[in-house]
Copies of this chain bind each other. A is one copy, B any other.
Amino acid sequence: MAEKVTFNIDKEKNFSEWYTEILDKAEITDIRYNVKGFVVIRPLGAEIIEQIYQMWEAELKSKGHKPCIFPAIIPEKNFKKESSHVEGFSPDVFWLEETGEGKLALRPTSETAFYQLYSLWIRSWRDLPLKLYQRANVFRLETKATRPLIRAREFFWIESHDAFSSKEQAEAQVQEDILITENLMHQKLGIPFLPLKRPFWDKFPGAEYTIGSDVLMPDGKVIQQPSTHLLNQGFAKSFDVKFKDDKGKENYVWQTCYGPAMSRILASLIAIHGDNSGLIVPFSISPVQVIIVPIYKTENKDKIMKKAEEIKKELEKEKITAEIDDSDKKPGEKFYYWEMRGIPLRIEIGEKEIKEKLTIFLRDKKERVKGEVKDIRKLGEEMDKRLREKADKEFKKSIEDCKNKKEIEKALENKKIARCNFCSIEKQGEKCAEAIEKELGAFVRGVRHDKKEKPTGKCIICNKRANEVVYIARSY
């Protein structure tokens, strides 16, 4: 069966237009808000973001984090306490007009708000670990072109800020954060990523090191998803966050922070799973998991609607969210509407389905199968597994070993990530990275954090001994 190209835009051929169009057609965002870089997130987008929030919050809580709420406004003097942090963020800050209390910023991130209080809350090893997170909107005065959900001047994230009594514990937290990303973003949402230790020149301002999660978008550009930072004792020293250990000895705490951006994860979700009929939302987080479409004529409407209501109740008993579309649209129109919005499963109920098994449409395969209410969860879970496996397969194919600039260029043209030998991701490698940026319009994204990869030859730029295997990609 030929795939109906609802958009008249092919995702493979023209991802950028496809993405813009799907946000509009599936009613995810509205870009007509009249401030540059700010968009309105419509109900379907807001509902999915809420699901992603709840998923991360539950996971963070299960790992001993507690929620809190910090002000969205941070005094400039807090930023100034950590010199590399203020340098890194100052250009991107929205400042408030003077209110008589000194210069105030809209938070671009909240380290300098949290740690001031941490210095008051933490006294002894008994107060540690302190693991707090907040759900928050943050603001960055982006000067580059913005894209809805991808690069915006306001976005919606969780930031968790943890303090420990040893460096080992802090490093273990970094591992845990990456595992959370793996469990949720990859296993649950089916979005594969590379956990990369960022080069020295690209780490979070004020951090010892940064592990970013790079997701490859269909246009061959990577996008940074949840990143976790080993802050070590830098901020602790700037903000005087000290504790007494069990022998009464005073020391600075070791810190980490972690920041999954829900609006950006939604962007990847749309980009990775969507097709030319619209969105595909994983069953596990779809705000509506099953759409029930009754197909009736005047004479059998009551009977079929009754059946639809019954099915809905049975699904709700199984904790599956379902809706009946009883609008006066034609069945075909309803099909397209809900396919566009990515609802994973559709139950069609006509005369036949009253007597026999249900007709269940699988959004990803665009196939109908026969089944019963008790099969729905399994069908949904199987779909999520298929989505993940399909994405994994694509992703695996998209990493290409390259031996020289020409090969990198070709890989990038083919919308891939290049993997190659590189001198160093410490200060001394920065020049080579600049050459790559200048000549290829791409970035050294870092080295694998999940496994040690051994270089075998020389740096593809300077020809000196390669100490690292790096991943190079175009990026958002």
Contacts and interface: CB of A to CB of B under 8 A. Distances in A.
Interface of A: 30, 32-36, 38-43, 45-47, 49-50, 66-75, 77-78, 94-97, 99, 101, 104, 106, 113, 116-117, 120-121, 132, 134, 137, 139, 141, 153-154, 156
A106 B106 contact: yes
B94 A95 contact: no
B99 A141 contact: yes
A49 to B, nearest CB: 7
A42 B120 CA distance: 13
15 contacts: A32-B120, A33-B70, A33-B71, A40-B70, A43-B68, A45-B68, A46-B66, A46-B67, A49-B69, A71-B154, A72-B72, A72-B139, A73-B139, A95-B97, A137-B137
A95 B97 CA distance: 5
A71 B35 contact: yes
A121 B77 CA distance: 43
A78 B141 CA distance: 21
B137 A72 contact: yes
Contacts of A154: 71-73
A104 B153 CA distance: 13
A156 B40 contact: no
A113 B40 CA distance: 9
Q: What DSSP secondary structure best describes chain A's contact surface?
A: mixed
Contact of A96 (B72, B95, B101, B137): B95
A43 to B, nearest CB: 4
Given A50-B67, A97-B97, A99-B94, A40 B117 contact: yes
A73 B113 CA distance: 21
A101 B301 CA distance: 55
A139 to B, nearest CB: 8
Contacts of A120: 30, 32
A96 B94 contact: yes
Nearest to A38: B71
B96 A68 contact: no
Contacts of A73: 35, 38, 94, 139, 153-154
Given A34-B116, A40-B117, A113-B33, A69 B46 contact: yes
Given A35-B104, A95-B96, A120-B32, A69 B47 contact: no
Contacts of A41: 68-70
A234 B181 CA distance: 48
Contact of A47 (B66, B96, B139): B66
B117 A32 contact: yes
A77 B49 CA distance: 30
Nearest to A100: B36
A162 B350 CA distance: 35
* A-B complex: 5 closest residue pairs judged by Cβ atoms: A43-B66, A38-B71, A41-B69, A95-B97, A46-B67
Contacts of A106: 96, 106
